[in-house]
Amino acid sequence: MPTMTQTSDHSTAITSDSLDDGPILVVDDDDSLREFCSRVLQAYGHEVHTAGLAEEALSLASQNSYRVVLLDLKMPGMDGIECLRRLKAQGCRADVVMITGYGNVPTAVKAMKVGARDIVEKPFRPDDLQAMLQDILARQQKAVSEDPIVAFIQTNATEIGSRKDVANRLGVSLERVSACVQEQTGLSFRQFLHACRLDLAKRLLENTELDVSEIAVRAGFQTVQHFSRVFSKREGVSPKIYRLRIRAEN
């Protein structure tokens, strides 16, 4: 079970002064973990709601507009992946982070395909929770300042397979998707989609110990071979070499 520790000096505090005030939902059947997450997040100025079961979380999400949902993978009754599916089906637009125990990462990776934004593995420290949340909220802030089509691609890059997915979701034409991306980014749709996915992959390479194959899946690539080709073309080195260089620099 995690314990409260002092935030490291180099961390940047998350405050409601610099971020929107949308609440965060913590869903876990472990009372102590819910309380731990609630204390940490409230210390950074966030409004926090909690739920002990998936059914309670679905009810809360139907009544509130959450920015982030921390969702336990294993719970009595409905598990986290099914809860995630239902959250998405009922229109919840929050970024969902799966909470997983040691050894359950491969299962949690499957949740990425359902629409989870990230994974946090228990036990974790306050600093770990802060850093993950800060990254998600920073991406949200950046996305809302962009063109809606570009913002949608940035936020959902791991789930989007083609221009048609974007066009259908936003009710625009394929031509509009292509023209907007080209105008706003100077890239083709496919180039921009890969750029968004690779930005996530780089953060995972830098900040986690996940295998390259797992990172490929989480970043939205069908195979590790395709991921490695696209990554090497953009960065000039393979994902493994990129990780080694970053670790050496630090």
Q: What is the CATH number of domain 146-249?
A: 1.10.10.60
Task: With a cut of 90, say whether residue 124 has pLDDT above it.
Answer: no
Average pLDDT, the chain: 83
Task: With a cut of 80, say whether residue 111 has pLDDT above it.
Answer: no
Supply the Cα-derived Rg of the chain in whole angstroms: 18
Q: Where are the domains of the chain?
A: 24-138, 146-249
- Strand ranges, E, within the chain: 24-27, 48-51, 68-72, 95-100, 118-121
What integer is the mean pLDDT of 165-181?
94
How far apart are alpha carbons 231 and 240 in whole angstroms? 10
* In the block, residue with structure tokens 């934004």: 117
Q: Which CATH architecture has domain 24-138?
A: 3-Layer(aba) Sandwich (3.40)
Q: How confident is the model at residue 142 (pLDDT cuts 50, 70, 90)?
A: low
Task: Report DSSP letters for 151-209, one per residue.
Answer: HHHHHHTTT--SHHHHHHHHT--HHHHHHHHHHHHSS-HHHHHHHHHHHHHHHHHHH--
Q: Give burial (CB, 10 Å; 0-12/13-18/19+) of 24.
A: buried
pLDDT of the residue at 9: 33
pLDDT tens-digit map of 188-237: 999 999 999 998 898 889 878 889 999 999 889 989 999 999 999 888 89
